[in-house]
Amino acid sequence: MRAVDVAEVNGRVFINNCSLGSYGEAVRRRDALRREHGHGKWRAMLIASWHVFRRLRRFRFHIETPEGVFVIRSPFAVVANNRYSGNVFDTSLRPSLERGRLWIYTAHARTRGSLLRMIIQGLARSIDDADGLDVRDATDATITVSTGSLPVACDGELVDLTPPLRFRIRPAALRVLAPPPSDA
């Protein structure tokens, strides 16, 4: 047994990440396509993602951390339980779930082309090398948005949360059966 971190938003625990904006909207559309047309999960997600990409919406995120306040216009904000690193096709994108940090990812993408370029770079090289990806870490964060409606997905499932969204990391809060950490 070993203890790993979990994260939470407004009291709701998540293991992987909480996605705000475009991904949340794609999950909403995916679920509707599955209900209304019987599409499989992956087909529905592909169609939904294309629809969201065509009508790319940028949100004005107000992000407050112990290190400062940041305001950014981005199609998304992803708050992850610890850091993503490496290539999307690696067996694991996180070196550790035991660092006690939230990682906040946003994009400076102003156009569909710049967002597509960032995605391709993340697929071809490494997430860490994608142009236009803004990354910061913190132990806690509060995120608000200038619009009233904000699609939110936690661990890939649509959730109904009302901003402000208060995130925090809970170090070693979950005991799991797993091999020892690779750095041990």
Q: pLDDT at position 148, please? A: 65
Amino acid at 124: A
The DSSP line for 2-15 is EEEEEEEETTEEES
pTM (2 decimals)? 0.88
- Nearest alpha carbon to residue 142 among 47, 52, 20, 22: 20
Q: Provide the 10 A C-beta neighbour count for residue 59.
A: 22
52 Rama class: left (phi>0) / alpha (psi -120 to 50) / beta: alpha
- Nearest alpha carbon to residue 51 among 29, 21, 73, 79: 29
pLDDT, one tens digit per residue, over 175-184 is 999 777 666 4
In the chain the domains, ranked by start, together with CATH numbers, are 2-20+60-176 (2.60.200.40)
pLDDT, one tens digit per residue, over 65-86 is 999 999 999 999 999 999 988 7
From first to last of the 184 residues of the chain, give the pLDDT tens digit.
889 999 999 999 999 999 999 989 999 899 999 999 999 989 999 999 899 888 888 899 999 999 999 999 999 999 999 998 877 677 778 888 899 999 999 998 778 888 888 877 877 877 777 888 889 999 999 999 987 678 899 998 999 898 899 999 999 999 999 777 666 4
